[in-house]
Structure 1
Amino acid sequence: MNPLLEYTINAHGGLEAWKNFEKITARLVTGGALWEMKQQPGILEDIYVTSETKKQTTSHYPFINPEWKTSFTPGRIAIENTAGEIIEELRNPRDSFSGYTAETPWSTLQLAYFAGYAMWTYLNAPFTFANPGYEVTELEPWEENKETFRRLKVTFPPEVASHGKEQVFYIDTEGLIRRHDYSVDISGGSTAAHYLSDYIEVQGIKIATKRKVYVRLEDNTPLLPGPLLVSIDLKEISLQ
Structure 2
Amino acid sequence: MSALLDLVLDAHGGLKPWQDARTVHAEGSIGGLLWSLRGQEGILSTTDATVDVQQQRLVFEGFTGPRLRGLFTPDRVAIERQNGEVVAERSAPRDAFAGHGPDTPWDQLHALYFAGYALWNYLTAPYLLTLPGVVVEELEPWREADEDWRRLRAVFPQALATHSTEQVFYCNAAGLLRRHDYAPDVLGGTPAAHLSEHHVRASGLVFPTHRYVVPVQEDGHAASEPILITIDLTDISVT
TM-score of the pair, normalised by structure 1: 0.97
Runs of 4 or more above 2 Å deviation: none
Q: Is the 8 A contact 1:102 1:190 kept in 2?
A: no
Identity, % of aligned positions: 42
Q: Which residue of 1 aligns with 2:107?
A: 107
Q: Is the 8 A contact 1:104 1:187 kept in 2?
A: no
Q: Which amino acid aligns with 2:211?
A: R
Q: Which residue of 1 aligns with 2:134?
A: 134
Q: Which residue of 2 aligns with 1:236?
A: 235
What secondary structure sits across from 1:123 in the alignment? helix
What secondary structure sits across from 1:113 in the alignment? helix
What secondary structure sits across from 1:174 in the alignment? coil
Q: Which runs of 5+ in 1 are unaligned?
A: none
What secondary structure sits across from 1:196 in the alignment? strand
What secondary structure sits across from 2:114 in the alignment? helix
Q: Is the 8 A contact 1:9 1:127 kept in 2?
A: yes
Q: How far has the Cα of 1:128 moved from its partner?
A: 1.6
Q: How far has the Cα of 1:219 moved from its partner?
A: 2.0
Whether 1:95 and 2:95 are equivalent positions in the alignment is yes
Q: How is 1:28-39 mapped onto 2 (pairs within 5 angstroms)?
A: 28-39=28-39
Q: Which residue of 2 aligns with 1:56?
A: 56
Give the Cα–Cα distance (whole angstroms) in 2 for the partners of residues 22 and 138 of structure 1: 29
What secondary structure sits across from 1:18 in the alignment? helix
Deviations 1:53-106 (A, max 9, x none): 100001111011111111111111111111111110000011111121222211
Q: Which residue of 2 aligns with 1:174?
A: 174
Q: Which residue of 2 aligns with 1:2?
A: 2
Q: Which amino acid aligns with 1:217?
A: Q
Whether 1:193 and 2:193 are equivalent positions in the alignment is yes
Deviations 1:150-200 (A, max 9, x none): 000111111110111111100100000000000011011122111000001
Q: Which amino acid aligns with 1:102?
A: P
Give the Cα–Cα distance (whole angstroms) in 2 for the partners of residues 183 and 204 of structure 1: 31
Give the Cα–Cα distance (whole angstroms) in 1 for the partners of residues 70 and 178 of structure 2: 29
Q: Which residue of 1 aligns with 2:146?
A: 146
Give the Cα–Cα distance (whole angstroms) in 2 for the partners of residues 103 and 156 of structure 1: 27
Deviations 1:179-233 (A, max 9, x none): 0000011011122111000001111111100001101123212223x21111111
Q: How far has the Cα of 1:146 moved from its partner?
A: 1.2
Q: How far has the Cα of 1:30 moved from its partner?
A: 1.9
